[in-house]
Amino acid sequence: AAVGKGNYRHFMEKELHEHPVVLGDTLRQHIDPATRAVVLPPLPFDPAVVPRITFSACGSAYLAAQVGRYWIEQVARIPVDSDVASELRYRDPPLPEGGAALLVSQSGETADTLAALRLLKQRGQHVLAVVNVSESTMDRESDGTLLTIAGPEIGVASTKAFTAQLAVLASLALGFGRARGTLSAGEEARLTAALLEVPGHAAALLEKGSEIQDMAREVALARDVLFLGRGSLYPIALEGALKLKEISYIHAEGYAAGEMKHGPIALIDRDVPVIALCPSGPLFEKTASNLQEAAARGGRIMAFTDAAGAPALRRFAERVVVLPTVDPFVAPILHAIPVQLLAYHVAVLKGTDVDQPRNLAKAVTVE
């Protein structure tokens, strides 16, 4: 049956509001709420001994994979390589015997990701696909599939499918950690509990619409925007920039906050808003000090943080949006939603074709 917009103006708006349900459905597939243990289906490789994981994907799916890389390295201590599919397929990387390949895709049909899948398989890697469309080519050609339960995504800009990919990858990282013996049962229960709270937090966040709309009014006037983050928030900064470019046609760049002084700080002036993803946690002080440097050069800092991070940032930031307080492990999922909302509101203000931006296709099935 055809999917409608319901009472929403755009599919993207509707899909943004589906976050709580989609995240809940996807997480419950892999986390038993009673025992708080991760329950993974049989995988095409043994995470306890796999020598390396190679991630490949395109666009937002690649950025989800980048977050997955931080998580798996941190929790399961497995070496991870990752590259966009259009590079990986021509890079000819040396691959270990018995290695695993993880392909991430909403459509399951993206030409470059599919080519990377075939190459990795041919090179003896055990291929696991994280896809949203069951029976898609990637689902059929991989050795195993983990489905995101996002439902049909019509807007060209990925929203709920992206966060659902994060939900699957977070569960996988924890499952790998247990298999590897690097994650204690207590830690596993603590982190799965944090994950299971994410759908509720996502619902609360969607209520913050007016604060983000205010921010969008300023961002809509800019010609260039910089998104900054560190650690697992760095790929979310890249995602914020990608989303804004894609649907509002404003030039945006995502940077690792620590790289600012190696070039991008030269761009800083009153006309370039700096959007920072800066939750409290081990990297907070480092990111805050990068932001302060930008503020000292006239930069207008607009930060997403939590209650613990807000007071320090308010000393120099023009705007501070306070998100729910969560374990740093789940912060990237929670920060993805406001950057998507921001891009949405900016695009609406600019009057662009939000669901069908120029020059883009939902699934890129040609190289």
**Between 165 and 232, CB nearer to ligand AGP:** 165
Of the candidate residues 246, 253, 306, 355, the single one contacting ligand AGP (CB under 6 A): 246
Is 58 a residue that touches ligand AGP (CB under 6 A)?
A: yes
- Cα 191 from Cα 341, distance rounded (Å): 26
- Report the candidate in 273, 269, 297, 268 with the shortest Cα–Cα distance to residue 222: 273
13 or 246: whose CB is closer to ligand AGP? 246
CA–CA gap between residue 228 and residue 256 (Å, rounded): 6
Check residue 232 for interaction with ligand AGP (CB under 6 A): no
CB of 287 to ligand AGP, least distance (A): 25
The answer to whether residue 194 forms part of the interface with ligand AGP (CB under 6 A) is: no
Question: Which residue lies nearer to ligand AGP by CB, 210 or 359?
Answer: 359
Label the pairing between strands 251-256 and 273-277.
unpaired
Q: DSSP of 27-81, one letter per residue?
A: HHHHEETTTTEE-PPP-SS-TTT---EEEEE-HHHHHHHHHHHHHHHHHH---EE
Residue from the set 80, 128, 157, 354 that interacts with ligand AGP by CB under 6 A: 157
Angle at 281 between CA 69 and CA 60, to 5 degrees: 35
Q: Tell me which stretch binds ligand AGP (CB under 6 A): 103-111, 142-150, 264-272, 291-299.
A: 103-111
**Comparison of 81 and 112: residue with beta carbon closer to ligand AGP:** 112
- With contacts defined by CB under 6 A, name the span among 68-76, 99-107, 122-130, 184-192 that binds ligand AGP: 99-107
Give the DSSP H/E element, type plus range, for residue 164.
helix 160-180
Does residue number 106 form part of the binding site for ligand AGP (CB under 6 A)?
yes
For the CB of residue 159, give the shortest distance to ligand AGP in the complex, in Å: 8
Tell me the three-class secondary structure of 253-319, residue by residue. EEEEHHHHHHCHHHHCCCCCEEEEECCCCCCHHHHHHHHHHHHHCCCEEEEEEECCCHHHHHCCCCE
59 binds ligand AGP (CB under 6 A): yes
Taking the CA atoms of residue 278, residue 293, residue 222 and residue 242 in that order, the dihedral angle to the nearest 10 degrees is -40
Q: Is 286 a residue of the active site?
A: no
Query: Shortest Cβ distance from residue 276 to ligand AGP (Å)?
Result: 21
Residue 85 or 301: which CB sits closer to ligand AGP?
85
Mark the segment that binds ligand AGP (CB under 6 A) among 154-162, 186-194, 201-209, 226-234: 154-162
Catalytic residue positions, numbered: 362
**Contacts with ligand AGP, residue ranges (CB under 6 A):** 58-61, 105-107, 110, 113, 156-158, 246, 363-364
